[in-house]
């Protein structure tokens, strides 16, 4: 079943619409795209020998009527372990590999309205979570409950659909064992500008289906070093209510890294 092709087509159409919306908004607003790139490297030596790396890219655009949000993430880790049947012989084995992408386009009711319509697509590949990949697409209604220079708070609710591949696939357009279902997406986003040199962001979302619920919570604290570089503390929690045997329901990731802000 070519369900991922459908998801990709929806994301491409959404991205095209978002590009047009961003151009139209730019003509009426002086706001620009804001983006940052963060990277981290973890090396463990001693009782445990492992190498790990992670990175993420965030971009957003706030126009008069349209709002665009993009996220890209990657995380990899490998550990040295003894080869079975060969005492003393060791090799590095991959123990974590995860990729995540999100694109969201919001349409405000008018330039002064707190209410907006959203549509969002996500894609995640994680071979150590009990599924090979899953993609979601949702539309609905959002509202900015708090909108000040210091604090913003958004809440969103709407229906959607989830495509999930449970077994390893030969390509990204078919799957021999899939699990697809309608979902309800619930999300909240909070941002606090603590000072000119520090800010905090919190994003929580749940895709609730009849068979399973996927929850993602991300907390980010940035402290500026100069006009382009910042120190970032990031905590990510991912929870799956139903997992394959041997897989944990929750994954926790805490990173300290350097961020470059693109202006």
Looking at the predicted structure, is the pLDDT value of residue 182 above 60? yes
Q: What is the pLDDT of residues 34-50, one digit of tens each?
A: 999 998 877 655 555 67
Q: What is the mean pLDDT of the chain?
A: 81
Helix (H) / strand (E) containing 19: helix 3-28
User: Would you state the pLDDT for residue 169?
Assistant: 55
Give the model's pLDDT for residue 36: 92
Position 246 pLDDT exceeds 90: no
Please count the structural domains in the chain: 1
pLDDT > 90: percent of the chain = 48
Pairwise pLDDT comparison (95 vs 125), residue with the higher score? 125
Domain of residue 240: give its range: 3-262
Looking at residue 14, its pLDDT comes to: 44
Give phi and psi for 10, each to the nearest 5.
Answer: -65, -40
pTM of the model: 0.78
So what's the pLDDT on residue 170?
55
Tell me what pLDDT residue 188 has: 98
Structure confidence at residue 5 (pLDDT)? 45
CATH of residue 51's domain is 2.40.160.40
Q: Could you tell me how many helices (H) and strands (E) the chain has, helices first?
A: 1, 12
pLDDT classification of 224: cutoffs 50, 70, 90: very high
Per residue in 60-111, pLDDT (tens digit) is 999 999 999 999 999 888 877 766 766 767 677 777 788 999 999 999 999 8
Cβ burial of 221 (10 Å; 0-12, 13-18, 19+) is middle
Range scoring the smallest mean pLDDT among 61-70, 123-132, 166-175, 234-243: 166-175
Question: What share of the chain has pLDDT > 70, as a percent?
Answer: 75
DSSP 87: T
Strands 250-262 and 213-224: unpaired
Whole-number Å distance between alpha carbons of 101 and 167: 20
């Amino acid at each position: 079943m070519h369900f991922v092709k459908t998801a990709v087509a929806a994301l491409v159409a959404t991205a095209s619409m978002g590009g047009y919306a961003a151009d139209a908004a730019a003509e009426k607003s002086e706001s620009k795209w804001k983006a940052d790139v963060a990277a981290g490297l973890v090396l463990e030596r001693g009782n445990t020998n492992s190498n790990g790396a992670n990175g993420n890219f965030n971009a957003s655009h706030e126009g008069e009527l349209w709002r665009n949000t993009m996220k890209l993430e990657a995380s990899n880790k490998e550990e040295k372990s003894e080869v079975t049947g060969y005492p003393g012989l060791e090799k590095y084995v991959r123990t974590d590999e995860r990729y995540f992408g999100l694109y969201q386009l919001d349409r405000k009711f008018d330039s002064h309205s707190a209410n907006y319509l959203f549509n969002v697509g996500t894609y995640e590949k994680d071979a150590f979570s009990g599924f090979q990949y899953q993609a979601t697409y949702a539309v609905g209604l959002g509202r900015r409950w708090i909108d000040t220079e210091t604090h913003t708070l958004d809440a969103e609710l709407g229906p959607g659909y989830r495509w999930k591949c449970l077994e390893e696939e030969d390509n990204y357009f078919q799957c021999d064992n899939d699990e697809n279902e309608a979902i309800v997406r619930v999300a909240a986003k909070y941002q606090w500008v603590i000072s000119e040199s520090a800010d905090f962001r919190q994003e929580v979302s749940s895709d609730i289906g009849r068979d399973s619920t996927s929850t993602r919570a991300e907390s980010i604290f940035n402290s500026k070093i100069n006009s382009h570089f910042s120190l970032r503390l990031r905590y990510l929690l991912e929870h799956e209510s139903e997992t394959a045997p041997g897989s944990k329901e929750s994954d926790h990731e805490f990173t300290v890294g350097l961020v470059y802000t693109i202006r």
